[in-house]
């Protein structure tokens, strides 16, 4: 159905497609459950003090006669709240459960269980595949059992939070009879506000009475009115606790896969999730081979070792990056040479890169900093001209694109990170990708202690142990299966900053350069020197308002650990001194970003 009010416009095509996919995959993941133990793993906990949970109504309930009886009873008790009223039967409820709920792609229902596991009601979503990214709250029913006061409010809040944080839903609405004062008061307490009145006409056919919208030309007084309400979360308490710079989105999928890996991922099943994760990740990025590692740093190290880079060689890295990029160069005994970054993308400046090439240069490691792709067309052309290897440090840039091509597909190798602050998390972890089968085999041997793959316990060369565990890979598999929606959530977060900080003097956001599709792993701002507050004072003031920030990495050439002393490069030094990463956790809400933007504007 069409809805008016904030956020009602259709999403752009690409976002709408990702959103609709996320709805149908998440709904069906919950509904396609035929074991009770797994169903509990997929449940959503309600916060204290209710301590109950929401359990998805799933395939295993299709023949659960006890539940069907209960649902029929609730329907009878609440018939007055439904626009379609008919005599409730067990057969009707059974068939509704199958054909109008379990088999319908855009609908889901959760049972509300109290702290003892007893069903006290249900609620869910209907019509969830809209192009606007909005969901209709539906079927909110409370059984007439005394006690558990407040549990339905907690259940509804939990449901909305789940849809927002897991699926990336943009907002919620519902329809309720205007004369159902108990229900309208309940929804108002939970942040729903009146949006529109829909006059209805009563129609009776056989034993069924329906209230339907008035036909065109019907001007007689309506028999009943639907009130459409939209959810407008208030901004009170928005900064009650520290708003953090990062934080993942974890769904039932991660819980179910890692639970399964912990219980069954041993002996013959030891690498079930590992191989599936490697294959899925490689396919997502569009590369042939993948090796899951214990960190991105380890993956970078393996890539340089597999390329045969060693003492006497130089590897060019951007002067702004996490130390890991250049540390990997030290690990193979080579020397990192720092090149400057661009003023707009903050990634490796192709001209500076070319100016640093000597006869010792063997490779370059462009970094897709904070999720923004480096200018790979020019970097690849220069590398090709000088016969250099290219290792992409795509640690924070899963799903980013340059000229429509995914980061991680340009170079000889690419390394990604799943450390806990990244877009996709496995606690710690990384992955190495390549299209070159010989390089893959070499890196694989080095990753496994230099072990000969054809002999038991035989080592041919010095290697390392950089393996990821099957349990981490289970988490990683669930995360990569959700990657597209997480990317869109990050991009939307940046758009809220862009809106809130539009035209603020002395400040620039890390917007995409032409051709780039950033995933905005970190939404960031750069202050100019005329700002009336220093970068560090701004951070301190924001902290007092419960807004956490991070300084952008300093120009890393300044660290006292490199074999040659190199002066920090001008743009790297400037950005390193003047830029800030703002809170960018994928689950943050617009009201939190609005609060942060307002605080920044007051302080600048």
Ligand X SMILES: Cc1ncc(COP(=O)(O)O)c(C=O)c1O
Residue 4 is classified by DSSP as -
The residue within the footprint of ligand X, chosen from 132, 245, 251, 321 (CB under 6 A), is: 321
The residue within the footprint of ligand X, chosen from 113, 154, 160, 324 (CB under 6 A), is: 324
Selected range binding ligand X among 112-120, 218-226, 321-329, 379-387, rule: CB under 6 A:
321-329
Which three-class secondary structure string do you get for 502-560? CCCCCEEECCCCCCEECCCCCCEEEECCCCCCCHHHHHHHHHHCCECCEECCCCHHHCC
CB of 296 or CB of 597, closer to ligand X: 296
Residues comprising the chain, all counted: 604
Is 477 one of the binding residues for ligand X (CB under 6 A)? no
Distances (CA, A) of 560 to 300, 550, 563, 594: 21, 22, 9, 40
Selected range binding ligand X among 243-251, 317-325, 468-476, 512-520, rule: CB under 6 A:
317-325
CB of 272 or CB of 301, closer to ligand X: 301
Is 419 one of the binding residues for ligand X (CB under 6 A)? yes
| 507-509/430-434 β-pairing | unpaired
344 contacts 374 by C-beta, under 8 angstroms: no
CB of 227 or CB of 432, closer to ligand X: 432
CB of 222 or CB of 396, closer to ligand X: 396
CB of 419 or CB of 584, closer to ligand X: 419
CB of 281 or CB of 322, closer to ligand X: 322
Contact string (CB under 6 A) for ligand X, positions 182-201, x = contact: --------------------
The CA distance from 479 to 106, in Å, is: 22
Selected range binding ligand X among 254-262, 322-330, 529-537, 580-588, rule: CB under 6 A:
322-330
Q: How many CA atoms, within 13 angstroms, populate the side-chain half-sphere of residue 238?
A: 18
Distances (CA, A) of 555 to 314, 318, 339, 421, 559: 19, 9, 10, 21, 8
The residue within the footprint of ligand X, chosen from 245, 258, 417, 470 (CB under 6 A), is: 417
Task: Tell me the closest approach of the beta carbon of residue 184 to ligand X, in angstroms.
Answer: 49
- Angle, CA of 217, 173 and 111, to the nearest 5°: 120
Neighbour-count burial of 111, counting CB atoms closer than 10 A to its CB (0-12 exposed, 13-18 middle, 19+ buried): buried
Is 507 one of the binding residues for ligand X (CB under 6 A)? no
Task: Tell me the closest approach of the beta carbon of residue 366 to ligand X, in angstroms.
Answer: 10
Q: Where are the beta strands (DSSP E) in 59-188?
A: 84-85, 108-113, 119-126, 134-142, 171-177
Task: Tell me the closest approach of the beta carbon of residue 369 to ligand X, in angstroms.
Answer: 6
The partner residues of 315 in beta bridges, in order of sequence, read 336, 363
- Tell me the Cα Rg of the chain: 28
The residue within the footprint of ligand X, chosen from 248, 408, 430, 583 (CB under 6 A), is: 430
The partner residues of 197 in beta bridges, in order of sequence, read 227
Contact string (CB under 6 A) for ligand X, positions 267-306, x = contact: ----------------------------xxx---------
Is 325 one of the binding residues for ligand X (CB under 6 A)? yes
CB of 154 or CB of 395, closer to ligand X: 395
Task: Tell me the closest approach of the beta carbon of residue 584 to ligand X, in angstroms.
Answer: 13
The CA distance from 455 to 179, in Å, is: 78
Distances (CA, A) of 132 to 10, 166, 171, 475, 494: 4, 17, 9, 30, 19
Is 322 one of the binding residues for ligand X (CB under 6 A)? yes
Q: Which of residues 374-413 bind ligand X (CB under 6 A)?
A: 393, 395-396
Q: Which residues of 75-102 are buried (b: 16+ CB within 10 A; e: fewer)?
A: beebeebeeebeebeeeebbebbeeebb
Task: Tell me the closest approach of the beta carbon of residue 289 to ligand X, in angstroms.
Answer: 19
Size of the site for ligand X (CB under 6 A): 14
CB of 132 or CB of 426, closer to ligand X: 426
Question: Element (H or E) spanning 246, and its range?
Answer: none
Task: Tell me the closest approach of the beta carbon of residue 603 to ligand X, in angstroms.
Answer: 27
Task: Tell me the closest approach of the beta carbon of residue 561 to ligand X, in angstroms.
Answer: 16
Encoded tokens for 600: 């920044």
Task: Tell me the closest approach of the beta carbon of residue 419 to ligand X, in angstroms.
Answer: 4
The CA distance from 196 to 294, in Å, is: 54
Task: Tell me the closest approach of the beta carbon of residue 313 to ligand X, in angstroms.
Answer: 20
Is 576 one of the binding residues for ligand X (CB under 6 A)? no
Task: Tell me the closest approach of the beta carbon of residue 294 to ligand X, in angstroms.
Answer: 8
The CA distance from 546 to 40, in Å, is: 35
Contact string (CB under 6 A) for ligand X, positions 117-146, x = contact: ------------------------------
- Angle, CA of 301, 245 and 368, to the nearest 5°: 40
Task: Tell me the closest approach of the beta carbon of residue 297 to ligand X, in angstroms.
Answer: 3
Task: Tell me the closest approach of the beta carbon of residue 533 to ligand X, in angstroms.
Answer: 27
Is 367 one of the binding residues for ligand X (CB under 6 A)? yes
427 contacts 475 by C-beta, under 8 angstroms: yes
Enumerate binding residues for ligand X (CB under 6 A): 295-297, 321-322, 324-325, 367, 393, 395-396, 417, 419, 430
């Amino acid at each position: 159905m069409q809805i008016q009010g904030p956020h009602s416009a259709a999403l752009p095509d690409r976002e709408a497609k990702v959103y609709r996919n996320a709805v149908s995959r998440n709904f069906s993941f919950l509904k396609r459950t035929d074991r009770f133990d797994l169903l509990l793993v997929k449940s959503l906990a309600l916060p204290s003090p209710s301590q109950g949970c929401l359990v998805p109504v799933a395939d295993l309930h299709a023949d659960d006669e006890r539940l069907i009886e209960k649902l029929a009873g609730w329907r009878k008790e609440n018939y007055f709240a439904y626009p379609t009223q008919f005599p409730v039967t067990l057969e009707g409820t059974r068939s509704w459960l199958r054909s109008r709920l379990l088999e319908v792609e855009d609908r889901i229902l959760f049972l509300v269980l109290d702290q003892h596991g007893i069903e006290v009601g249900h609620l869910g979503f209907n019509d969830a595949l809209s192009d606007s990214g909005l969901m209709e709250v539906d079927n909110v029913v409370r059984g007439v059992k005394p006690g558990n006061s407040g549990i339905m409010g907690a259940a509804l809040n939990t449901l909305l939070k789940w849809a927002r944080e897991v699926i990336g839903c943009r907002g919620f609405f519902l329809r309720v009879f205007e004369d159902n004062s108990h229900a309208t008061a309940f929804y108002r307490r939970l942040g729903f506000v009146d949006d529109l009145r829909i006059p209805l006409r009563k129609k009776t056919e056989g034993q069924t009475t329906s209230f339907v919208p008035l036909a065109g030309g019907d001007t007689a007084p309506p028999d009943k009115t639907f009130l459409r309400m939209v959810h407008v979360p208030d901004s009170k308490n928005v900064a009650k606790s520290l708003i953090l710079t990062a934080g993942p989105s974890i769904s039932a999928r991660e819980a179910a896969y890692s639970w399964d890996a912990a219980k069954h991922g041993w002996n013959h099943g030891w690498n079930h999730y590992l191989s599936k994760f490697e294959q899925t990740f490689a396919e997502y990025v569009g590369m042939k081979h993948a090796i899951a590692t214990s960190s991105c740093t380890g993956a970078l190290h393996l890539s340089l070792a597999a390329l045969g880079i060693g003492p006497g060689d130089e590897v060019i890295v951007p002067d702004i990056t996490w130390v890991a990029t250049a540390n990997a160069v030290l690990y193979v005994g080579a020397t990192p040479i720092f090149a400057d970054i661009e003023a707009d993308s903050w990634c490796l400046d192709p001209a500076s890169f070319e100016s640093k090439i000597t006869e010792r240069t063997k490779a370059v490691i462009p970094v897709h900093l904070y999720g923004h792709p480096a200018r790979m067309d020019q970097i690849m052309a220069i590398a090709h001209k000088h016969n250099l290897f290219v290792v992409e440090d795509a640690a924070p840039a899963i799903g980013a694109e340059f000229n429509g091509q995914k980061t991680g597909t340009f170079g000889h190798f690419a390394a990604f990170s799943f450390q806990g602050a990244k877009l996709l998390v496995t606690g710690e972890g990384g992955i190495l990708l390549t299209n070159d089968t010989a390089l893959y085999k070499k890196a694989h041997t080095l990753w496994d202690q230099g072990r000969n793959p054809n002999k038991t316990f035989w080592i041919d060369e010095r290697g390392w142990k950089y393996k990821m565990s099957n349990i981490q890979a289970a988490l990683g598999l669930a995360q990569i299966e959700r990657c597209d929606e997480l990317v869109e959530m990050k991009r939307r977060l940046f758009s809220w900053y862009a809106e809130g900080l539009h035209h603020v003097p002395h400040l620039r956001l890390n917007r995409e350069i032409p051709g780039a599709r950033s995933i905005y792993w970190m939404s960031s701002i750069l202050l100019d020197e005329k700002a009336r507050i220093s970068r560090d004072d701004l951070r301190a003031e924001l902290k007092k308002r419960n807004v956490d920030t991070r300084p952008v990495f300093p120009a890393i050439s300044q660290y006292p650990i490199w074999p040659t002393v190199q002066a920090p490069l001008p743009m790297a030094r400037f950005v390193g001194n003047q830029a800030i990463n703002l809170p960018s956790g994928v689950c943050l809400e617009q009201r939190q970003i609005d609060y942060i933007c307002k605080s920044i504007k007051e302080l600048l």
